[in-house]
Amino acid sequence: MTLLDVGGLTVTGRHLIVDGVDLSVSRGETVGLVGESGSGKSLTARAVAGLLPKGLTATGSVALSGRELLGARERVLRSVRGSRVALLMQDPFAMLNPLRTAGAHIAESLPRLPRAARRAEVLRRLAEVGIADPSVATRHPFQLSGGMRQRVALAAALARDPELLIADEPTTALDATTQHEILMLLRGVQRTRGMGVLLITHDLRVAFELCDRVSVMYAGRIVESGPGSGVAGAPAHPYTAGLLAALPSVTATLPRLEAVPGSVPHAEDVTDVCAFAARCGQAEPDCGRARPPLREVSPGRRTACLYDVRPRPRTAPPALAPDAAPAGGTLLRVEELRKEYGGHVALGGVSLDVGAGESVGVVGESGSGKTTLARCVLGLATPDGGRIELAGLDVTPGARAARREGAHRLVQCVFQDPSTSLNPALTVGATLAEAAAQGRAEGRPSVAELLDLVGLPAAYADRRPRALSGGERQRVAIARALAVRPALLICDEPTASLDVSVQAHVLELLRTIRRELGTALLFITHDLAVVRQISDRTVVLFRGAVVESGETSRVLDAPVHDYTRRLLASVPPTP
Amino acid sequence: MRGVLVTVLALAAVAAVAGSWLAPYDPAAQDLALGAAGPSAAHWLGTDDLGRDVLSRLLAGAGSALFWPVLVALGTTALSTSLGLLAGYRLGWVDALMMRIIDLAIAMPGMLVLIVVVGVLGGGYGWAVLAMAVLFTPGDIRVIRSLTLAQRGLAYAEAARTLGLRPARIMFRHLLPNLAPTVVANALLSFVAALVSLAGLSFLGIGLPAGTPDWGLMVEENRGLLDLNPWAALAPVILITLVATAATLLGDRLFETLSEGGAR
């Protein structure tokens, strides 16, 4: 029985954003809406809940059990939201009121009950989301971890027993192990309650693991839909196939990560053609003539492609033998590094080595100390104890003997957040020229050479960062770091905020740079699949201590430490 | 709207630069026989009790009324921006020392200090301008410092440090352009505060010798003439209000435009 039926949903602001989306969710079914940033998936979810931001209007039809919600009065929507449709958002911290306790959030949505009964009900609801400790009800959001907050938010969303739960990237802000727990919890709750779930996510693996049916969105429209396993196994649209090919694998080092070339067009510019044609490897003249309809390829499977997807040639053998360890000697030596913030131990005596030209991955969750480690090596943080040696030079920040003179020519960094990694006031050219001037005079690269190195046209030198996409900014950031031709490049989650197709491009770029320039990499990430693709050796950090280290294939295929095993178990299977 | 604001300030600037030259009469020329007369074809805004042309005195006074506040705004902005950047970027003892001094400075009653300084030292606006710059700076330093703190933690600033750039270069080339909206808006607010405070000092008879053509002084000297020629006192009040309002609103608007330009 169809619970939610969305037909021809269109969302328009200053531009067209969502263009004719059809969706349905039945009772007891989990439907995934997958897409990269800018595909319009979140606005689709908001339009369904009647929560579009100001200035955006929706047309089409959104029916809940046959009742039209689009254009309904706010009063009607209020009676539906919470009680019949509930929302779970991405950021569990922003979603909860910092001044109210966890229990108050849940009690607020419960039906009227006597005080004692209400308290018991709150505890029962907390137990449903896996919180057995009754004291959590009296704690405030800041006293809870991210996973706990998301559990409380889920309990609050479920308080009035909705028939449909819309979950918008519910686990994106969480650590891998926590993400896995919350997904499993979501599945359990959905099954026991027989509830319909609309899961919005950018992560294909999450969608395939959790959803009965999956719809893939691109440039404001649905390009493919079908059962999760079917879409994962045999994508019927070149875009889906491209996304799947761009996914890094945790079990094998791929010889080449396939990025989808180009970038997502505006929905408005492609209303009458196939939205993907410009980036498609198998586009025919037909693709630019009319918009391909969502045609049925088999029962329950639809695609907006006129043709059958050509299987991608897998040229090289699937697994790549790790590069032989270069015999250049030790480049970076970190010994017993310790750092505390207040009473919190960020680094509790961490030691690691990076050889010249070697790529070492540092894996850990938030709070494991991996970023603090990078900051100490970069001289941005002063450790409480320990030693950092770069190319035989003592560069421990704060140590009296150590002068970091020249250290910037040895080590550079690519930071995580592409939105702040470039100075918005300077052009790309000015940023790169300034960086290059910090290097040695002989063999100093020009701005054009640097842009070419990261695969950007020389004309980008005149642009400012806000005219660049996230992936392009990150490539400029890599060019800036390479401008002084450092021996070691630290990458602090450089792809964590990027879409999967862009991530593949950046990872491939880093691999090429390492191969061609011989730059050693210290790659910090929480993503085991990424570390598999990029590093020879892997160091696993847990609460400021190294719990396991060794060759990447050894650590990931035969983990010794319990924590590494848990990390591996939490990775959704790669289709 | 912005056109109106810019026009008001541009006209004020013209009057400040070329006021004495534009004035139809010598601002000091007395015509005792005329006395305090209302507006007429010869004297558009009438005359004061000594028969001096009000319009000419307004134009001649525009220079001192606007020049000193501009000086205060420039001085305050230069001082607060560099010290705020320094404190927010360097942190440590530089920051701690500066913040304690600022705590003290902010606790001082501003107008009282001004009156005492100018009253004791006398001699025109020179000391008043210096005292005002010192009084306005601490609050602005705090604002700039807190913005600098936020910016220095962003990835681009850390990348600049990683590249081994000199601190002065990071502060002025990397951080400062991103603080520009606030710096510009603050400068205009300092201008307005100085304009109003200096007019207030003149009104209290502190600073300039009696008889100098000056907007604040004119309000004080001519407030007894409200029945004979109200324009003699009202016109300078209106001008001060107009310029102050225009500068405040323009600061607001500039802040918004510049922020949009800098944001993604």
Q: For residue B129, what is the domain's CATH number?
A: 1.10.3720.10
Percent of chain A with pLDDT strictly greater than 90: 42
Q: Which of A268, A284, A303 corresponds to the end of one domain?
A: A303
Q: A52: which DSSP letter?
A: P
Record: contact A435-B262, CB cut-off 8 A: no
Whether residue B50 is contained in a domain is answered as no
Compare CB distances from A421 to B156, B161, B263 and report the shortest one's residue: B156
- Token pair, residue A32, equals 């995934």
Instruction: Give B35-53 as a DSSP string.
Output: -S----SSSTT-B-TT--B
Q: Residue B256: CB partners within 8 Å, gap ≥ 6?
A: B181
pLDDT value of position A314: 53
What are the pLDDT digits (tens) for B213-257?
Answer: 888 888 888 888 888 888 888 999 999 999 999 999 999 999 988
Number of domains chain A is built from: 2
Mean pLDDT taken over chain B: 88
Average pLDDT for residues A106-115, to the nearest whole number?
86
Whether residue A117 is contained in a domain is answered as no
**A253: pLDDT strictly greater than 60:** yes
- A417, A420, A489, A524, best to mutate vs chain B, most B CBs in 10 Å: A420
Q: What are phi and psi of A394, to 5 degrees?
A: -80, 115
pLDDT value of position A327: 54
* Range picked from A145-154, A248-257, B77-86 for highest mean pLDDT: B77-86
Whether residue A364 is contained in a domain is answered as yes
CA-based nearest distance A306→chain B, Å: 37
Residues of B in contact with A380 (CB under 8 A): 158, 161-162
Whether residue A11 is contained in a domain is answered as yes
Average pLDDT for residues A398-404, to the nearest whole number?
59
Higher pLDDT, A393 or A321: A393
**A91: pLDDT strictly greater than 80:** no
CATH number of the domain that A32 lies in? 3.40.50.300
- The reply to whether A376 and A486 lie within a common domain is yes
pLDDT value of position A317: 45
Record: contact A425-B165, CB cut-off 8 A: no
- A403, A414, A423, A476, best to mutate vs chain B, most B CBs in 10 Å: A423
Q: What are phi and psi of B57, to 5 degrees?
A: -70, -35
pLDDT value of position A313: 58
Whether residue B133 is contained in a domain is answered as yes
A1-15, B49-63, B201-215: least confidently modelled range: B201-215
Average pLDDT for residues B96-121, to the nearest whole number?
86
pLDDT value of position A375: 92
Q: Residue A332 pairs with which residues in a beta bridge?
A: A354, A390
Whether residue B237 is contained in a domain is answered as yes
Establish if A482 touches chain B: CB-CB under 8 angstroms: no
Q: How far apart are CA B46 and CA B50, in angstroms?
A: 11
Whether residue B144 is contained in a domain is answered as yes
pLDDT value of position A573: 78
What are the pLDDT digits (tens) for A481-500?
Answer: 999 999 999 999 898 888 88
**A400: pLDDT strictly greater than 60:** no
A392 three-class SS: coil
Range of the domain at B238: 55-262
Establish if A489 touches chain B: CB-CB under 8 angstroms: no
Edge-to-edge order in the sheet of strand A359-363: A411-414, A488-492, A520-525, A359-363, A537-542, A545-551
SS (H, E, C) A55-70: CCEEEEEEEECCEECC
pLDDT value of position A344: 85
Higher pLDDT, B262 or A109: A109
Range of the domain at A471: 330-569
Higher pLDDT, A395 or A462: A462
What are the pLDDT digits (tens) for A509-566?
Answer: 999 999 888 999 999 998 899 999 999 999 999 999 999 999 999 999 999 999 999 9
Q: How far apart are CA A332 and CA A387, in angstroms?
A: 11
What are the pLDDT digits (tens) for A165-197?
Answer: 999 988 887 888 888 888 999 999 999 999 999
What are the pLDDT digits (tens) for B238-248?
Answer: 999 999 999 99
- The reply to whether A346 and A256 lie within a common domain is no
Number of domains chain B is built from: 1
- Token pair, residue A212, equals 């009965």
Q: B182 falls in which pLDDT band (50, 70, 90)? A: very high
Whether residue B46 is contained in a domain is answered as no
Tell me the residue type at B169.
R
**B166: pLDDT strictly greater than 80:** yes
Compare CB distances from B162 to A412, A420, A465 and report the shortest one's residue: A412
Average pLDDT for residues A207-223, to the nearest whole number?
92
pLDDT value of position B123: 65
Average pLDDT for residues A44-53, to the nearest whole number?
88
A196 three-class SS: strand
Q: How far apart are CA B110 and CA B134, in angstroms?
A: 10
Could you tell me which of A309, A312, A311, A270 has the C-alpha nearest to residue A291? A270
Residues of B in contact with A411 (CB under 8 A): 162
- The reply to whether A278 and A194 lie within a common domain is yes
**A401: pLDDT strictly greater than 70:** no
CA-based nearest distance A420→chain B, Å: 5
Whether residue A107 is contained in a domain is answered as no
**B192: pLDDT strictly greater than 90:** yes
CA-based nearest distance A408→chain B, Å: 5
Residues of B in contact with A371 (CB under 8 A): none
Average pLDDT for residues A340-361, to the nearest whole number?
90
Higher pLDDT, B33 or A116: A116
Compare CB distances from B162 to A413, A423, A466 and report the shortest one's residue: A413
For chains A and B, CB pairs below 8 A equal: 67
H-type alpha helices, A336-427? 370-378
**B207: pLDDT strictly greater than 80:** no
Whether residue A513 is contained in a domain is answered as yes
A439 three-class SS: coil
A207-216, A288-297, B179-188: least confidently modelled range: A288-297
Residues of B in contact with A465 (CB under 8 A): 264
Whether residue A95 is contained in a domain is answered as no
Whether residue A131 is contained in a domain is answered as no
**A233: pLDDT strictly greater than 70:** yes
CA-based nearest distance B177→chain A, Å: 6
Global pTM value? 0.84
Q: How far apart are CA A252 and CA A273, in angstroms?
A: 37
Please compute, for residue B86, the number of CA atoms within 13 A of its CA located in the half-sphere on the CB side: 14
**A321: pLDDT strictly greater than 90:** no
- Positive/negative CA dihedral, A373, A378, A381, A386: positive
Higher pLDDT, A14 or A321: A14
Establish if A411 touches chain B: CB-CB under 8 angstroms: yes
- The reply to whether A190 and A282 lie within a common domain is yes
Q: Residue A64 pairs with which residues in a beta bridge?
A: A4, A67
Whether residue B40 is contained in a domain is answered as no
Q: How far apart are CA B34 and CA B195, in angstroms?
A: 32
CA-based nearest distance A213→chain B, Å: 36
User: What are the counts of helices (DSSP H) followed by strands (DSSP E) for chain A?
Assistant: 18, 22
Q: Which of A252, A286, A303 corresponds to the end of one domain?
A: A303
Record: contact A380-B159, CB cut-off 8 A: no
Q: B194 falls in which pLDDT band (50, 70, 90)? A: very high
pLDDT value of position A436: 93
- The reply to whether A170 and A209 lie within a common domain is yes
Q: B134 falls in which pLDDT band (50, 70, 90)? A: confident
**A406: pLDDT strictly greater than 80:** no
- The reply to whether A173 and A69 lie within a common domain is yes
B113 three-class SS: helix
Whether residue A140 is contained in a domain is answered as no
pLDDT value of position A505: 87
Average pLDDT for residues A313-320, to the nearest whole number?
49
Record: contact A422-B163, CB cut-off 8 A: no
Q: What are phi and psi of A413, to 5 degrees?
A: -140, 145
